[in-house]
Structure 1
Amino acid sequence: MVKDAVEGTWVNRVGFTQGQVVLEIGWDEDVDDALRENVETVVGSPLEEDQFDGVVDAVLLWWRDGDGDLIDDCVDALTTLADKGFLVVMVPQAGHPDHVEAAEIEEAAQTVGLKASSTAKAGAWIATKLVQGGTQKQR
């Protein structure tokens, strides 16, 4: 896939751009490899695996109902995220048994000091961009 083919897609709408380092968390056999390739095409490099310990510009977090604690995964994502970095939470679309409601994503984001800034349909997934600067709640 050439870069022009993904211009104007969900990848660009949530803020991925050329040259970013992107960490991927939550990969499993159900993820859409074409969506992963879209991100890699736009940023110009492979996604980093969850063992990566450098600073990243963005985190791609695949999340499903039953995956554990979204708040904990958001906190983990923040440990390597650059000051102006962002997190994109990918959840299965409504109607899928593992779908996660937007309210749950927003609550987790607010708890860790992030805020939802945009959402885009991405194949059978929904991408929600979380940016730094939300109000952190006491846990």
Structure 2
Amino acid sequence: MVAAGDAGSIGIADKLGIDTDSAVQEIGWDEDVDDELRAAIEEHIGADLLDEEADEAVDVVLLWWRTDDGDLVDALVDSLATLADNGVIWVLTPKTGRDGYVEPSDIAEAAPTAGLTQTSSVSVAQDWTATRLVSPKSVKARR
């Protein structure tokens, strides 16, 4: 059973590009989040996810977002406060047909307004999709 857990933590962390030494902050937690996904990331990084109150620099922000959560641009700008220069924001949204579903176009429109670039989207759990956002300078630095 340990091997299966290890495979899950490595799989989801790899999918999201999270290194074992990454500092990961979680914003927008609610009872509907995928606890297996959270546990897999915590297992991979060997630490708890930092909460919304954390003020240290982080490599990754996991932003759980639903259609009724407010203004996505504001949430993205707030997420940038602790994000390291080459950090990544993953916007986790419910999949099509699930409560709180967010249109992909809403993310595509909010990202540039917040000074971010959308690079990819992946399925990360049964009910959640993740969209990767980075600062444009991060995209240029990787080339």
Q: Same fold (TM over 0.5)?
A: yes
Question: What one-letter code is carried by the residue in structure 2 that aligns with 1:7?
Answer: I
1:133 paired residue number: 136
Deviation beyond 4 Å, 4+ runs, structure 1: none
- Alignment length (residue pairs): 133
Partners in 2 of 1:132 and 1:43 — Cα distance? Answer: 23
Question: What one-letter code is carried by the residue in structure 2 that aligns with 1:126?
Answer: T
Deviations 1:76-126 (A, max 9, x none): 000110000010000000011310011111111111111111211122100
CA contact (8 A) 1:14 1:119 kept: no
Q: Does 1:97 align with 2:99?
A: yes
Deviations 1:18-62 (A, max 9, x none): 110011100001111111111112222110011111111110000
- Corresponding residue to 1:117 among 116, 119, 125: 119
1:72 paired residue number: 74
Q: Does 1:47 align with 2:49?
A: yes
TM-score, structure 1 length as denominator?
0.89
Q: Percent identity?
A: 44
Structure 2 regions of 5+ residues with no counterpart? Answer: 138-143
Partners in 1 of 2:92 and 2:46 — Cα distance? Answer: 20
Q: CA deviation at 1:8?
A: 3.3
TM-score, structure 2 length as denominator?
0.87
Q: CA RMSD in A?
A: 1.4
2:10 paired residue number: 7
Q: Report which of the two has the higher share of helix.
A: 2
Structure 1 regions of 5+ residues with no counterpart? Answer: 135-139
2:63 paired residue number: 61
